[in-house]
Amino acid sequence: MPIRPPTAQDLLTAAAEIGLEIRPDDVDGYLDLARGFIAGHHVVDSLPEGVATPRAPRAPGRRPSPDENPLGAWVTRARVKEYDDGPLAGRSVVLKDNIALAGHPMGGGTGFLADYVPSVDASVVTRILEAGGEIVGKAACEYLSFSGGSHTSATGPVHNPRRHGYCAGGSSSGCGALVGAGEVDMAIGGDQAGSIRTPAAFCGVVGLKPTYGLVPYSGIIPIEVSVDHTGPITATVEDNAILLEVIAGPDGLDPRQQGLELQDYTEALSGDAEGVRIGVLEDGFGLANSEPEVDARVRAAAARLRTLGAKVESVSMPMHVPGTALVMPIFAQGATDLMMANGVPVQTPGLYPPGLAEAFARWREHTGELSELLKALLLVGRILARGDGPRLYARAQNQRRVLRDCYDRILESHDLLLMPTLPITAKPLPPPDAPREEAIRCATEMMGNTAQFDLTGHPAISVPCGDVDGLPVGMMLVGRHFDESTLYRAAHAYEQAVA
């Protein structure tokens, strides 16, 4: 598409936005310079996209009927399979709807992206297909992934598979619900503040947020480059380890991937926790909104691990609770900048699905449909961008290293940390006309133990450890960077013991 030449009014508008005064007799000179600089953009616009396309044309997915979608968890149904053999042969995999699957819509939980169809596969998609897996569709996700609830997607609320009308958790809401309902074997979700572990805990399945960078984020709609994670949601620990072995490792595209250490995760599934040193993080219990029954189920799980030979003791890390506050400056500034840049993280190399930025730019015409949480974040981000926002963003980024060091010191003498994944069980979905404050509370009330580990990059897994009144409870184990094997070892031993 040809680039429209800038006009004098374009120049003056741009100058006003950045606070630059331009004298009337300078307008023509600056305009000539701008047109000269834009000439280089014309060259780029004439080049090929520079991305790999699928091996063969694909049949488009289809929107499921209401009868096929009682949980509201499906966006599209599909059948994409390229190989018959491999570790995922015979397995069905659903993708969170912010992951590029060539030839299939990628809405990201929004209305303004609903018709956008990428022509490229995300790296995780390529790996799943090469491993013999069959991608069976796209799962609903929260509006641009900004919610721990399951009520903000433009496609409608996602219901908990254990209790209709209750939250399935977000932002990978459809992934958790579909795995929890047994409709698919596996799912790929995303996690920036708990968005894999939250639906896993609420829906009674296994969800892993890998070490930061272990799994390539290429071809996935980001929130903030420094906290973006993607990973597996499955019914069992074994399936989780199998899927991680397929999708982990460098792709040569994602700048998040630095100094990776890979392991044979399935080899850790011995059913034995003998000698694993586990610190029960007391600061993760008794949060302001913790439910005593949830804490009790997780403590009982810790006790069960002790009977399996694990060395379990209490530990404390005073920065754990206040550490959640670091999320707000990073999200408010980083995510706002990403929105203003039309979904493309500037100053960051990587794989960018063709056409995404152009489609993403339409959000400005659909501001009324933004979720209440995203509206609030954007307002705060833009207000602070004119003052303290960049300073506080930098301070929060520096403090996250302090937070990481605090956990690392405990992990020098312990292999894992243990705490509730979420302080609560799933709550009723808010009605569509819920007050703004209620909608935002339902999107954020569950994050007290999860967001910290997106900031520090430690791997964390949620494993079902019982129910409260029929609603699942998740136990979270946190490990050293790139030591997913120990997470899997302890999680698998516990799972087998209570099966």
Catalytic residues: 96, 171, 195
Reading the block at residue 38, the tokens are 């834009």
End-to-end CA distance of the chain: 58
Looking only at the bridges linking them, the beta strands covering 416-420 and 277-281 are parallel
Sign for the CA dihedral angle at 446, 158, 90, 105 comes to: negative
* Count of C-beta atoms within a 10 Å radius of residue 445: 17
Within 10 Å of residue 250's Cβ, how many Cβ atoms?
14
Q: How many CA atoms lie within 13 A of 324 on its CB side?
A: 14
Neighbours of 258 (CB within 10 A): 9
Write phi, then psi, for 170 (nearest 5 degrees). Answer: -140, 175
Bridge-partner residues for 417, per DSSP?
Answer: 279, 478
SS3 229: strand
CA 189 to chain centre: 6
Provide CB contacts within 8 A for 108, sequence distance 6+: 97, 98, 141, 143, 144, 145, 221
Query: Locate tokens 């940390």: which residue?
Result: 417
Name residue 199's amino acid. Answer: P
